[in-house]
Amino acid sequence: MIEFAQFGAGRIGAIHAATLARSEGARLRYVVDVNARAAQLLADRHGAKAVDRDAAMGDPKVGAVVIASSTDTHADLAIAAARAGKAIFCEKPIDLSLARVDACLKEVEKARVPMLVGFNRRFDPSFKALRDRLGAGEVGTLEQVIITSRDPGLPPLEYLKVSGGQFRDMTIHDFDMARWLLGEEPVELYATGSCLVDPKVGQLGDVDSVMVVMRTASGKLAHINNSRRAVYGYDQRIEVLGSKGMLRAGNRTPTTVERAGDDWVASDKPLHFFLERYAEAYVAEMDHFIDSVNAGKAPAVGARDGRQALVLAEAALQSMKTGAAVKPA
């Protein structure tokens, strides 16, 4: 039974707090948020206390932290937690700057504390089953990965301004998926993008529609396509081609109802967005973290994974800017 301090009482914070509250291996002790009222409400709901950062970090009974605050605070909190010897569950990205990520990793590795980076999609039941079956050899040797990943609509421009841009904010999840499935690091990466959804995105120097191709040393190929706007909902699909077949994981729908009319046969759109689609994944991810820490094992998706996804995002940005393929560092 580990006691937790959670930083961040927003949308994702609420999900993690609820998971902690009903876990038998964890207890939520503290909630910390710059918005004191939000912290208090969330703490009250789960029998925790709203305290400030130092109180939470300083309490030796706290064995683990959940970092679900704004991106710019992740690295500092992770470093503080590492120094305090606490296990770390950190929402992605660790930071938008590779230098700061590396500084953070150094501290975490020095402190030898377990750290999980919140690539929640690895815990989606369908994606996890796909990878397990790929690993079990059901389609032979992997040859190609195709990842389709589209948001239902553009986030607020205020959000986009501080997001780090398309690759660091959105594609980073897909880079992690690609690495996880390829089982090898990409050695060549090409990315291109356009501003097709809203010209205001372009005015920020960003893009909203991108395509990426990567190749590994053994010749495996991966493609990612992203759009900030799929009006039909959150589109999250993965396909892998192997020497003995193909595995695909598609979207989930609210219901299985279909209507056959005199015009067409209509079925449900995919679930709306990440809170709906990845509801089970968020719980499985936190359960995995709690189990790992209780068992003294490293979580399945660690700080290095967080770093490498950012390396690919940086490479994509460079490729798009130069119009040339690049070798990710």
Q: In the window 242-271, what residues touch its own copies (CB under 8 A)?
A: 243-252, 254-270
Binder to its own copies among 49, 83, 100, 133 (CB under 8 A)?
133
CA distances from 234 to 21, 75, 313 (A): 28, 29, 21
Residues 2 and 89 sit within 8 Å (Cβ to Cβ): no
Cβ closer to its own copies: 190 or 273?
190
Distance, CA of 21 to CA of 29 (rounded, Å): 10
> Between 142 and 181, how does the x/- string for binding to its own copies read (CB under 8 A)?
-xx-x-x-x-------------------------------
Residues 285 and 120 sit within 8 Å (Cβ to Cβ): yes
Cβ closer to its own copies: 82 or 320?
320
Binder to its own copies among 197, 204, 279, 300 (CB under 8 A)?
197
- Cβ at position 264, least distance to its own copies in Å: 4
- Cβ at position 97, least distance to its own copies in Å: 27
Distance, CA of 223 to CA of 240 (rounded, Å): 10
Cβ closer to its own copies: 33 or 235?
235
Cβ closer to its own copies: 35 or 141?
141
- Cβ at position 43, least distance to its own copies in Å: 16
Angle formed at CA 224 by CA 88 and CA 94, multiple of 5 degrees? 20
Cβ closer to its own copies: 85 or 137?
137
> For residues 300-329, which are near its own copies according to CB under 8 A?
323-325
- Cβ at position 32, least distance to its own copies in Å: 24
Residues 215 and 186 sit within 8 Å (Cβ to Cβ): yes
- Greatest alpha-carbon pair distance for the chain in Å reads 67
Distance, CA of 270 to CA of 277 (rounded, Å): 8
Distance, CA of 64 to CA of 294 (rounded, Å): 10
User: Site for its own copies (CB under 8 A): how many residues?
Assistant: 72
Contacting range for its own copies; rule: CB under 8 A; set: 82-90, 124-132, 155-163, 308-316: 124-132
Tell me if 69 contacts its own copies by CB under 8 A: no
Contacting range for its own copies; rule: CB under 8 A; set: 57-65, 177-185, 214-222, 293-301: 214-222
Give the residue among 69, 27, 19 at the shortest CA–CA distance from 48. Answer: 27
- Cβ at position 241, least distance to its own copies in Å: 6
67 strand-pairing partners? 7, 90
Tell me if 227 contacts its own copies by CB under 8 A: yes
Please classify residue 59 by burial: count the beta carbons closer than 10 Å to its beta carbon, then call 0-12 exposed, 13-18 middle and 19+ buried. middle
